[in-house]
Amino acid sequence: MPLHRFALACHVGLILLLATAALAGGITPASLCVAAAIVAPLLITLRGLLTRRGGAERWLTVLLVPYAGALSVEVVARAGAAALLSAALLIAVLELGVLLALIRSSRPSAVRE
């Protein structure tokens, strides 16, 4: 599986996990708003990832850092009791690594003279 497809699969999985975790306590107007606020930036970057726009991987890498940080705080605060958030943290870190590999492989190598 090429790295781009793997990053896309991680991205969709992260969106689904975060939305599911936000709605796990029941579907209310407040939880729908929270879920929409959590996944909205990821949905916006999904379009750039699908169309392979230049720079989408770089912006997504920057965007994933706060998600990974917030998820790690939540997982530690709940002492690992939130399985959905633990899975989302693993996928976010995995996607971050895959995106860094994609960025590194797409960068032209320096020519030494």
pLDDT digits (tens, 9 = 90+) for 48-101: 888 887 788 888 999 999 999 999 999 999 886 788 999 999 999 999 999 999
Distance CA 81, CA 29 (A): 25
64: tokens are 């994933």
Name the DSSP letter for residue 7: H
Q: What is the mean pLDDT of the chain?
A: 88
What does the chain come to in residues? 113
- Kindly give the residue spans of alpha helices, DSSP state H, lying in 1-113: 3-22, 29-51, 56-77, 83-106
Provide the pLDDT for residue 109. Answer: 61
- Tell me the whole-structure pTM to 2 decimals: 0.86
Q: Per-domain residue ranges for the chain?
A: 3-105
CB 3 within 8 A of CB 101: yes
Q: Is the pLDDT reported for residue 40 higher than 90?
A: yes
- 91: its two tokens: 């996928």
Is it the case that residue 112 has pLDDT exceeding 60? Answer: no
pLDDT of residue 79: 80
Q: pLDDT at position 65, please?
A: 94
